[in-house]
Structure 1
């Protein structure tokens, strides 16, 4: 990567430069146009260059009259890349080991495609190399020999060339105890994916590692790259949560992410990269008054009430509906009857048998809509209350007093059933009237002169019978009226002398 810059030409009171053309060449090549028009910017970064190659540049200023002569020529070699670092080896068994490393901190803007692992002799003489085929910073070595010293180093394959220098070598020897009860850094998390994104944020999820290294996962490290090298945005989340939302992003920008699992030993290799381009900035909404409310309906539910309902506008104008204004007209013009956010209303206290017409408006912060399509309803006509005396013609007979009907109702079950079936909601007194109170009867003096025959005659009278039965609680007449006492009999210790009971003196 090379960064070049220049100063704008002196205008000498003439037209200023409106753009710049950039030409370049390599050491043995010919000049070719790199950028035909760089606009009015006076700098440019040239990426994806080969390390060790010399690049030469010259600039032309442009305006409406044409191009200037070329600027002076500058030549430079791009800076070299950095090597992978912190290469470690962990014995997984007596014949296998895992190598872990960190990616180069600077790849001069080039993307890492994969890595190669070189095996060296004890004198660091190259023996052979194996390409990993991915950008993962971890690799398993199998089919190794026990009790033999191994020496490895790694380097990165870039979109152009390889990283240089290569990593420092790692030296290890496997034993019969390799991999036993070894706590090590975890494997890489799995299935890193973007679950959602917008113009200013990206949400990620991933799975826990298939192997936690023999000790629990304590957190995750998250890296992001948008232009050039990775940057760590979370060195350690300190949580086992497997999701993350990256906020405050730039619209229409590509972001690439990778995630590492962390345990008490350290950080393992990263996930496979995942990339996403954020959306464009949303346009500012254009606010307006809402459209009219829809489907206004009116229905009369009684002689003094009409129920109304409607549907919110199809377009709220981009702002919240703050009020619905309902108006009614019964013949004298529309008048406001309510306001609120409900889409139903009960209009009460109305005139019977009267037509009412309604319309409704919607209001938001930008204004009020045009009225809805009108709806009408007519209140019901009140019905005259029923006269129960007309249910059964000729009943009650005006020539009979109320006592007659009440007595029959109380004493004749069939008559009571007939009345209740015809007048189920009324008491007998509500139809025939209230009977006069029975006359007060004096309690008879039941003396020895009374005659049972006299009271038997009275008991045959219905009024007297009702009085007697209510007063004496169902007792028989014979129990209340005594027989006439017999004469000529004296009590014990006396005797009848000349019609007088006298004490017997011995």
Structure 2
């Protein structure tokens, strides 16, 4: 677009998605004219120097299917003073370094459009285009955004959702003539509360506030004179129920074994694993234990609360919970004083009853029992060998009772 015989100065500005930067310093003035060769035998020869063309202009993806992309662009602003033989098209997978050539030669794409076929279905790709003349190929022009291929009507997807949420099953299709669309649930009609939306390029099935009854296999059938395609959707709809019958056994001063039964309701999906948690009753936070039945690393003499949750692809269930006080053995010297403290929790406040070898203990002789608020303490002074044995504490209120025991050796 230069005018022959005029002088021009040039400067360059860099541009990115944010905007255009400051210009460079201007070049020296350049006179616009064709190069002229030398004289030979009183003849003057004029020739043009062919250079590589500039990149194609405004490349874009104008159409796409599950395994192809249609590209278009405009001719380069400058042909390099030579004929454009054609164009080379390349594509690249996200994260890859190498570019893959889509056409064999520039001559196979003489026009400003090309369809890249046989791409991996449903993938995402970047594209670039180069113009070619006798001097070589231009710098590449890139399609601005990566192109995500369409999910065609014959490709299945799994849907996972929670009860009470809105679900949309969708499929995109192409066909001439425009196809007819039908939806089925478990080989029957879809429920009346399902809303079906159909356009020239796709269909959607909407389910508002889904329930467990909506779980199932949904099939979309797309049909025209060219044939029929179907797509099968699966979805599961809830967290599992809590594990059942949580029990504790083989309690020692450092560990305990937990057993439970699988939940009655798996939420419509396979139980992937269980989460075991423990908490000191005096602490506020639960800690996650190893997902095994044998829990170790406990502190002797403390009361722990255990709970187990089941988990599937949707989420984690409510917990099943149990309390336990670790068994501890207490060894004391004869003549010393034994102090057995305990903390009680309950509404209304529970009562406390101490026993030894099945007999209720009261404040008399060497024994002293002090119960205040949520604590109770049994003190045995000047203990002797006959004071050895099993000491138990039972706390009770109208909601129930609970007992713990401790063995004392003098």
Q: How does the TM-score come out when normalised to structure 1?
A: 0.24
Larger CA Rg, structure 1 vs 2: 1
Give the structure with the higher percent strand: 2
Which structure has more relative contact order (CA 8 Å, sep 6+)? It is 2
Give the structure with the higher percent helix: 1
